[in-house]
Chains A and B, each alone.
Chain A
Amino acid sequence: EVQLVESGGGLVQPGRSMKLSCAASGFTFSNYGMAWVRQAPTKGLEWVATISYDGSSTYYRDSVKGRFTISRDNAKSTLYLQMNSLRSEDTATYYCTRQNPGGFAYWGQGTLVTVSS
C-alpha cells in the first residue's frame, strides 16, 4: 500500500524558515517524480513544486521561486521542502503527492504550516 506521511509543519514567524518532510513507503520511491501541493484555509489547491525521479530537475510556482527548495533522498525514500523567507500567504496545509503519467496519483494527509507573528 502506498503511504505518504508528511511532517515538520507548525507555527512559524514571517521571514523565518521551515523544512517539511514526506516519508514514502509501499512503492519504489526512486522511480517516481514527486510534488508538493498546498491548500490555504478555505481556499483551493495549488501546485507548489515538483522534482524528477532522480532529483535532476525541479520546478516551482512563481510565488515560491527563490524561497522554496524541493529535494529528495532516494536512499531514505523521503521528499523535502525547504521553505525560507516565509510569508503569511504561505499559510496552508502542504500535501506530498506522487506523480504518475495520469497526474497526482497518491497524496499524504498533509501538514499544516501557519505563518504568523
Chain B
Amino acid sequence: DIQMTQSPSFLSASVGDRVTINCKASQNINKYLNWYQQKLGEAPKRLIYNTNNLQTGIPSRFSGSGSGTDYTLTISSLQPEDFATYFCLQHNSFPDTFGAGTKLELK
C-alpha cells in the first residue's frame, strides 16, 4: 500500500494567515491526490481533487499543487470557518490511502 505522510500534524495560526499543509507519498501517485476538510461531528468535505481542481462551491482561497510524491494544500488567507482538520487522499493505486490529518487551530 502507498503510505501518505502528512505534515504538520498540528498547526496554530491566526485569521488572515497563509498556511500550507503537505502530503508526501511513498511512491509516485501521478497527481491523484485529494484534500478534504473535516469539522467535529460533520461529514468530511472534498476541497480539491486531482491535485489542483477546486470542488464546486469551495472558496478560491484554497488551492493545491504538487506532482510525483509531494503535494501541498494552501489556504491563502485563513477565515474563522477554516479551523478544522484537513487530510489528504491518494487514489492512484489500490487501495486508496489517507494522510493522518492536520488539525488547524486558532492561535
Residues of A within 8 A of B (CB): 4, 44-47, 59, 61, 95, 100, 102-110
Contacts and interface: CB of A to CB of B under 8 A. Distances in A.
Interface stretch (B11-19, B65-73, B76-84, B97-105): B97-105
Given A44-B87, A44-B101, A103 B42 contact: no
A52 to B, nearest CB: 13
Most chain B CB atoms below 10 A, which of A4, A61, A102, A106: A102
B42 to A, nearest CB: 6
3 tightest A-B CB contacts, nearest first? A102-B49, A103-B91, A45-B98
Which DSSP category, helix, strand, loop or mixed, fits chain B's interface? Answer: loop
A104 B94 CA distance: 13
B95 A61 contact: yes
A103 B43 contact: no
B96 A109 contact: no
Contact of B43 (A4, A45, A59, A102): A4
Interface of B: 32, 34, 41-46, 49-50, 53, 87, 89, 91, 94-101
Contact of A44 (B34, B94, B100): B100
B87 A102 contact: no
Contacts, number: 53
B55 to A, nearest CB: 8
Contact of B46 (A44, A47, A59, A105): A105
B34 A95 contact: no
29 contacts: A44-B99, A44-B100, A44-B101, A45-B98, A45-B101, A46-B97, A46-B98, A47-B96, A47-B97, A59-B95, A61-B95, A102-B34, A102-B46, A102-B50, A102-B53, A103-B32, A103-B46, A103-B50, A103-B91, A103-B96, A104-B46, A104-B96, A105-B46, A105-B49, A106-B46, A107-B43, A107-B45, A109-B43, A110-B43
